[in-house]
Amino acid sequence: MTQAVHDIPAHVARRAVEWMLELQSAPATPALRQAWSDWRAAHPTHEAAWQRVESVRSRFGGLAGVSGAAAVAHATLSARSRARRRSVQALAVLLLAGGAAYTVEQRTPWRQWAADHRTRPGEQRRIVLADGSALVLNTDTAINVRFAAGERRIVLLRGEIFVATAKDRGRRFLVEMPQGLAQALGTQFSVYSEAQRAVVQVFEGAVEITPAQAGSPARLLRAGQGADLSAQSVGSPRPVGDADRSWVHGTLIAKSMRLADLLAQLSRYSPHPLVCSDAVAELRVSGAYPVAQIPLILESLSATLQLQIETQTRFWGRQVVQVRLAPRGA
Amino acid sequence: MPVTVDAAHREVAGLYNEHHRWLSAWLRKRLGDAHQAADIAHDIFVRLLAREEPVQAREPRAFLTTVAQRALFSHYRRQQLERAYLEALAHCAPQLAASPEERAILLETLVEIDRMLDGLPAVVRKAFLLSQLDGLKQAEIAQELGISLASVKRHLVKAGMHCIFAVAP
C-alpha cells in the first residue's frame, strides 16, 4: 500500500499534469494520443505519475457535468477559515447531519487496514518472502507476515492466497486464519477465508489443518485434495485439480458452470456485484475467463448467450450499484 | 485466535495505556465535548496503529499533542466544510443529493478534494476548480479571475502537481 509517490520526480509530475491539461484543452488528435502513450511507456515513473493524475481526476469525476454539483462544490470548497469557535448546539446539529459520512469512514476494520500486504477487488499480487517462499494474493485479500526463529507464519485476515513454500528445516510454515491453522509440509497450496468458512486446497506435498477451537481433531490433506474448514471441524476431502488454482495465472476456469455461479465467482474480482436475472441463472457456461478483464467477460457472455448488460448506477454514475445480465428485450 | 502483535503495535498499545486518558482530557478541554474528544482520541490511535514505522517518541506527550493538533485541525476543517456544504445545498441546488446517503457521499467527495488542495493559495485553488469542475478553458479562467493566461497555466500546473503528491494511493 505504501506506493512510493515521492519516487516520482517533480519534472515527471509536471509533465504528467501538462499532458492532462493538453488532453483536456482540445479534442485529441491521433498524433497527440500516440505521443502521450509513448511518453507513458517511456519510463515506469511516467506511468506512475499518470496514474496519480487519473486518481486526482477521479475525485472530480462524479461532480463534473452535473448541474448544481459544481456550484455546491465551489461554495463549499471556497469556505475559508472563519471563526473556529462553535457552540455545542451547532456541533450537535452538524454531527447529526454528518452521521452517515462518519460511519462510512469507520467501516474498515483496523486489522485489515493495518495489514502488511493487501489487494483491492480485481487486483492480484505476487510476493516473494524473505525465506524464498512465493505467495500470490488473490482479489480483495489482506495478510500479515510474521517470521520468527521457530516458525514462518502468514496471518490471512481475509481473501485468498496461493503458497509455494521454500524448504527450511528449522522453521515450520503456517497459515493462520480465523477458522484455524494450516501447516505446510513442503508444498504448494491455497487458502481462502471468508466470514464463516475457509477452504484449503493442496496441489503438491501435504498440509495439516487444525480448526481454531481447542480439542478439534486435525486432518492431513495430501496433494490433489481440498476441504472446507470451520472453527470446529474440517470437512471431508474432495478432489482438486489445476482448474482450482488457475486464478494464480489470472484465469477462472468454468466447466459447464451455472451462469449465476460464474457471476458470483467473478464478483469477487469486481468492485460491484455481478448478477443475472432468474430466467438465465441456469444457463451453463464453459471457458477460461481472464479475471482482470471483467468488462470483456461480460461483453463476451452477452454476445454468446444473447443477453443484455444492465448497469445500475447512482450518484450520477459515480458509483456502480451492480451489473446485471438479462434476456434481451426484457 | 491471537494474532502476533509486532513491536510497532506494542508501542502504540503502550502509548494508549499510559496517555489515552490524558489525551482525551486534552481534547475535551479544547472541544468542550467528551464524546467528540473520545472519538478523535480513538481515531488518533487507530491511525498510529496503521503506521509501519515505530513511533519512537522520546516525549510521548509532545508527540501526541502534535498529532492531536493536526487531528483537531482536520476535524474543524471538516465541520466548516460540512456547514458550508449544507448551506450551499439549501441555496444552490435543493434538488441535488436527495437521500442522506447521497448527501454523505457528495460531502465525502468534497472533503477529499479539499484535502487534496490543502495548502494552495486561494487563486491557484480557484483556477484549478474552474478548470476541473466546470471544464473552463484557460482563456476563460483568465477572464473570470482577471489574471493573465500565463498565470492561469502556471497555477494549473502548480495545483496539478500539488494534487499528484497529495492524493492518497
pLDDT digits over A227-285, tens only?
Answer: 999 988 899 999 998 888 888 888 888 888 899 999 998 998 888 889 999 989 998 88
Segment A130-178, tens digit of pLDDT: 777 888 899 888 888 888 778 889 999 889 999 888 877 778 899 999 8
The answer on pLDDT for B78 being more than 90 is no
Q: Of B97, B123, B122, B93, whose CA–CA distance to B108 is shortest?
A: B97
Cβ distance of A110 and B50 shorter than 8 Å: yes
pLDDT value of position B2:
37
Instruction: Please enumerate, as own/partner, the contacts of A217-224 that have beta carbons within 8 Å and a separation of 24 or more.
Output: A221/A189, A223/A187
| CA–CA–CA angle A206, A209, A213 (5° rounding) | 175
Q: Residue B124 is inside which H or E element, if any? A: helix B122-132
Percent of chain A with pLDDT over 70: 83
pLDDT value of position A245:
85
Task: Give the chain B residue nearest A231 (alpha carbons).
Answer: B1
Choose among A6, A65, A101: nearest Cβ to B104. A101
Cβ distance of B164 and A16 shorter than 8 Å: yes
Using the 8-state DSSP alphabet, how is residue A287 labeled?
Answer: E
Shortest CA gap A240–chain B (Å): 28
Give the domain ranges of chain A. Answer: 5-61, 117-244, 250-327
**CA A12, A16, A22, A25 torsion: positive or negative?**
negative
On whether the CB atoms of residues B47 and A108 are closer than 8 A, the answer is no
Q: Helices B100-117 and B60-92: crossing angle, nearest 10°?
A: 120
Choose among B100, B126, B133: nearest Cβ to A100. B100
Q: Is residue B55 part of a domain?
A: yes
pLDDT value of position A294:
87
Range B29-33 average pLDDT? 83
| CA–CA–CA angle A206, A128, A126 (5° rounding) | 90
Cβ distance of A60 and B79 shorter than 8 Å: no
> In degrees rounded to 5, what are phi and psi of residue A161?
-130, 150
pLDDT value of position B124:
93
Q: How many CB atoms lie within 10 A of CB B120?
A: 18
Choose among A52, A84, A153: nearest Cβ to B167. A52
Percent of chain A with pLDDT over 90: 20
Q: Is residue B22 part of a domain?
A: yes
Give the pLDDT band of residue A106 (cuts 50, 70, 90). very low
- Domain A117-244, CATH 3.50.50.60 — does that match? no
Q: Of B110, B159, B111, whose CA–CA distance to A69 is shortest?
A: B110
Per the structure, the complete domain to which residue B26 belongs is given by 1-95
Count of the separate structural domains present in chain B: 1
The answer on pLDDT for B155 being more than 90 is yes
Q: How many CB atoms lie within 10 A of CB B168?
A: 10
Q: Tell me the CATH number for domain A250-327.
A: 3.55.50.30
Shortest CA gap B161–chain A (Å): 6
Q: Of A247, A274, A243, whose CA–CA distance to A259 is shortest?
A: A274
> Is this model's pTM higher than 0.80 or not?
no
Instruction: Please enumerate, as own/partner, the contacts of A257-263 that have beta carbons within 8 Å and a separation of 24 or more.
Output: A257/A284, A257/A285, A257/A286, A258/A282, A258/A283, A258/A284, A258/A285, A259/A283, A259/A284, A259/A285, A259/A301, A259/A305, A259/A325, A262/A289, A263/A325
Q: Is residue B153 part of a domain?
A: no
Q: Do domains A117-244 and A250-327 have the same CATH topology?
A: no
pLDDT value of position A65:
53
How does the average pLDDT of chain A come out, rounded? Answer: 79
For residue A314, list chain B residues with Cβ-Cβ distance below 8 A. 102
Q: Of A204, A194, A196, whose CA–CA distance to A240 is shortest?
A: A204
Task: Give the chain A residue nearest B76 (alpha carbons).
Answer: A84
Cβ distance of A100 and B84 shorter than 8 Å: no
The answer on pLDDT for A81 being more than 70 is no
Q: Is residue B114 part of a domain?
A: no
pLDDT value of position A98:
34
pLDDT value of position A253:
83
pLDDT value of position B18:
85
pLDDT value of position B84:
83
pLDDT value of position A1:
36
Range A69-96 average pLDDT? 52
**Which position has the grid cell 458509483?**
A319
Say yes or no: B84 contacts chain A, CB-CB below 8 A.
yes
User: Mutate which of A2, A53, A56 to disrupt the B interface (most B C-beta within 10 Å)?
Assistant: A56
Q: Is residue B130 part of a domain?
A: no
Q: How many CB atoms lie within 10 A of CB A236?
A: 8
Q: How far apart are CA A133 and CA A165, in angstroms?
A: 4
For residue B79, list chain A residues with Cβ-Cβ distance below 8 A. 86, 91, 94, 98
For residue B163, list chain A residues with Cβ-Cβ distance below 8 A. 52, 56
Q: How far apart are CA B42 and CA B38, in angstroms?
A: 6
Q: How far apart are CA B110 and CA A77, in angstroms?
A: 7
Range A73-80 average pLDDT? 76
Say yes or no: B18 contacts chain A, CB-CB below 8 A.
no
Q: How far apart are CA B57 and CA B48, in angstroms?
A: 12
pLDDT value of position A71:
78
On whether the CB atoms of residues B133 and B109 are closer than 8 A, the answer is no
For residue B1, list chain A residues with Cβ-Cβ distance below 8 A. 176, 178, 180-181, 212
ipTM above 0.95, yes or no: no
For residue A72, list chain B residues with Cβ-Cβ distance below 8 A. 85, 88-89, 92-93, 96, 106
Q: Is residue B20 part of a domain?
A: yes
Q: How far apart are CA A237 and CA A251, in angstroms?
A: 24
The answer on pLDDT for A113 being more than 60 is no
The whole-angstrom distance between residue B55's C-alpha and the CA centroid of its chain comes to: 22
Cβ distance of A25 and B137 shorter than 8 Å: yes
The one-letter amino acid code at B53 reads E
Range A280-306 average pLDDT? 85
Q: Is residue B90 part of a domain?
A: yes
Q: How far apart are CA B71 and CA A195, in angstroms?
A: 33
pLDDT value of position A316:
61
Task: Give the chain B residue nearest A89 (alpha carbons).
Answer: B33
The answer on pLDDT for A105 being more than 70 is no
